[in-house]
């Protein structure tokens, strides 16, 4: 018996291209998400002289999460929009959108206290500088600068590398 729904087959949805329609290609950012993420971690590991990708992951995550605590949801989402998919996921993971927004610390001691909660053992200022420098090598710099220009001075200062 022939199926009435010609858009489905036993193996799932048929390609619309075979039906004479448009086939949406998978975006490059999604196809290469894991290799791009691995390159970012390797670059950060080398830049920061860290022992492993795990250390690079923990450092990048801490830098992102500390920054996120000081940004409004709109600012955080604008920043996330310029990140590659897996860095975006890292930035947004475990986000309590209802949490109060804190002001950026004025000194290194304030940053160090925040980084202590993220279990990063390196100097906070050095970690931020290394992540910022590495990030600039892996994102569209023009788009990143455009987003940062719209943020308050404390947020811009955080990402200066």
**From the CB of residue 129, how many other CB atoms can be counted at a distance below 10 Å?**
17
DSSP state of 123: -
Place of tokens 């709109």: 74
| Structural domain that includes position 148 | 29-158
Token readout for 96 is: 């309590």
Residue 88 lies in a domain: yes
Residue 112 lies in a domain: yes
pLDDT means per 10 residues, the chain with 161 residues, are 48 52 84 95 97 95 94 96 97 95 81 78 89 97 96 90 58
Residue 129 lies in a domain: yes
Number of domains comprising the chain: 1
- Asked whether the beta carbons of 66 and 118 are under 8 A apart, the reply is yes
Residue 24 lies in a domain: no
CB within 8 Å of 55: residues ≥ 6 apart: 45, 48
Residues in the chain: 161
How confident is the model at residue 40, as a pLDDT? 98
How confident is the model at residue 9, as a pLDDT? 45
pTM for the model stands at: 0.82
Residue 5 lies in a domain: no
Residue 4 lies in a domain: no
Task: Give backbone dihedrals phi and psi of 8, rounded to 5 degrees, phi first.
Answer: -120, 150
How confident is the model at residue 95, as a pLDDT? 95
From the list 141, 112, 140, 139, the residue with the least C-alpha distance to 127 is 112
């Amino acid at each position: 018996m022939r199926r009435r729904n010609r858009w489905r087959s036993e193996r799932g949805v048929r390609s619309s291209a075979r039906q004479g329609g448009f086939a949406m290609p998978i975006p490059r950012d999604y196809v290469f998400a894991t290799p791009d993420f691995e390159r970012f971690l390797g670059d950060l590991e080398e830049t920061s002289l860290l022992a492993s990708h795990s250390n690079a992951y923990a450092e990048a995550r801490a830098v992102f999460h500390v920054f996120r605590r000081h940004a409004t949801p709109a600012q955080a989402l604008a920043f996330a929009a310029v990140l590659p998919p897996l860095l975006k996921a890292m930035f947004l993971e475990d986000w309590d959108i209802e949490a109060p927004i804190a002001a950026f610390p004025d000194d290194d001691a304030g940053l160090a206290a925040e980084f202590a909660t993220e279990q990063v053992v390196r100097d906070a200022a050095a970690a931020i500088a290394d992540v910022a420098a590495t990030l600039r090598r892996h994102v569209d710099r023009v788009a990143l600068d455009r987003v940062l220009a719209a943020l308050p001075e404390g947020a811009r200062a955080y990402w200066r590398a």
